Amino acid sequence: MYKNLKNAYFIQEVSALVRSILKKYNIKGGTFDQHFLIDTGYLDRIVAAAELTAQDTVLEIGAGIGNLTERLARSAKKVIAVELDPPLISVLHDRFDAVENIEIIEGDALKVDFPEFDKVVSNLPYSISSEITFKLLRYKFELGILMYQYEFAARMVSPPGCKDYSRLTVDTYYFADASILMKVPKGVFQPAPEVDSAVVKLIPRPAPFEVRDEAFFLEFVTAVFSQRRKKLRNSILNTNYKLKIPDVKEVVNQLPEDFMNKRAENLTPEELASVANMIYDLKSR
């Protein structure tokens, strides 16, 4: 009872269209991270956050039954809608084949190549959050408005020293400015997921610090956060089977003591980059 009341409070206006499509095609959701956003207020706020112009080509990952797609297409030059699940692809074709500015790409967003786009706006399939985000960040685009599980979003934007500060935070900060725009309660989806969500604004930019070798930096971050409670000296020594630093003990002895005595979780991305750079230079000698 309480749960229903709570959900009723949050939902501003359930989209009658979304409901009728789910019913007409007998779509229950649940598989492939299918949680359809049924609240028009949140749909509108996501579209508004994208600040679309008539020049924008928008990529949408996991278009589902097209509830967000339709709204994006009203303001953008073009929407490229990627969807994996055949029954939902049929709905998208039924709804949008006659709409000139919507292109449907059938397939796994992790596998298909994306055409050029200016913005990416998506209620993402949560199980591929990390992989799809870092795939997207290899493309050139202006702005991302992306929905994630709340806990994932919190890890993307955490300050150093907090429990959510992680490899994901440092990798995200390396590629982009990220901020949480809004928390989204589970009750505005059908079927409701088990946890709340959040919409993140992602602005890709060059890293605000120098990295001598990107692949080594990203590997270093992965390695030291896999031992986040250990002092950096020990996490480097313990993960050297991955990092493959020749004469690792000697190298570690040449690195600044104050960094070596701290844990990865207490070092800023800039500090982690400077340690990775020093190691890279020492191992390249």
Distance CA 179, CA 172 (A): 11
| Tokens matching residue 63 | 């278009």
| Shortest reach from residue 3's CB to ligand SAM, in Å | 20
Report the residue number whose CB is nearest to ligand SAM.
62
How many residues lie near ligand SAM (CB under 6 A)?
Answer: 23
Of positions 128, 170, 176, 279, contacts ligand SAM by CB under 6 A: 128
* Cβ proximity of 120 and 144 under 8 Å: yes
Chain centroid to Cα 69, Å, comes to: 18
Q: Is 186 in the site for ligand SAM (CB under 6 A)?
A: no
- Which one of the spans 9-17, 107-115, 180-188, 239-247 is the region binding ligand SAM (CB under 6 A)? 107-115
**92 touches ligand SAM by CB under 6 A:** no
Whole-angstrom Cα distance, residue 85 to residue 262? 47
Q: Which is nearer to ligand SAM, 33 or 271 (CB)?
A: 33
Print the binding letters for residues 11-50 with ligand SAM: x by CB under 6 A, - otherwise. ---------------------xxxxxx-------------
Shortest separation between residue 82's beta carbon and ligand SAM, angstroms: 5
Relative to beta strand 78-83, strand 57-61 is parallel
62 binds ligand SAM (CB under 6 A): yes
Q: How many CB atoms lie within 10 A of CB 169?
A: 23
**Residue 197 forms beta bridges with which residues?**
149, 184
The least distance separating ligand SAM from the CB of residue 85, rounded to whole angstroms, comes to: 4
Q: How far is the CB of 280 from ligand SAM (least distance, A)?
A: 34
Indicate the residue type of 178. Answer: A
Identify which range of 93-101, 105-113, 160-168, 211-219 contacts ligand SAM by CB under 6 A: 105-113
Does residue 108 interact with ligand SAM by CB under 6 A? yes
Q: Which secondary-structure segment (H or E) carries 176? A: strand 176-184
The smaller minimum CB distance to ligand SAM, of residues 34 and 158, is found at: 34
CA dihedral 184, 186, 187, 189 (to 10 degrees): 90
Q: How far is the CB of 153 from ligand SAM (least distance, A)?
A: 14
Binding residues among 69-88 for ligand SAM as defined by CB under 6 A: 82-85, 88
The verdict on 162 binding ligand SAM (CB under 6 A) reads no
| Choice between 79 and 264, CB closer to ligand SAM | 79
For the CB of residue 207, give the shortest distance to ligand SAM in the complex, in Å. Answer: 28
Q: How far apart are CA 144 and CA 128, in angstroms?
A: 16
Closest CA to 124 of 62, 44, 73, 176: 62
Residue 247: Cβ within 10 Å count: 11
97 in Cβ contact with 74 (< 8 Å): no
CA-wise closest residue to 83 among 110, 59, 107: 107
Measured CA angle at 47 (ends 42, 53), to 5 deg:
165
**Residue 222 CB, nearest approach to ligand SAM (Å):** 23
Residue numbers at the binding site for ligand SAM (CB under 6 A): 32-37, 61-64, 67-68, 82-85, 88, 108-110, 123, 125, 128
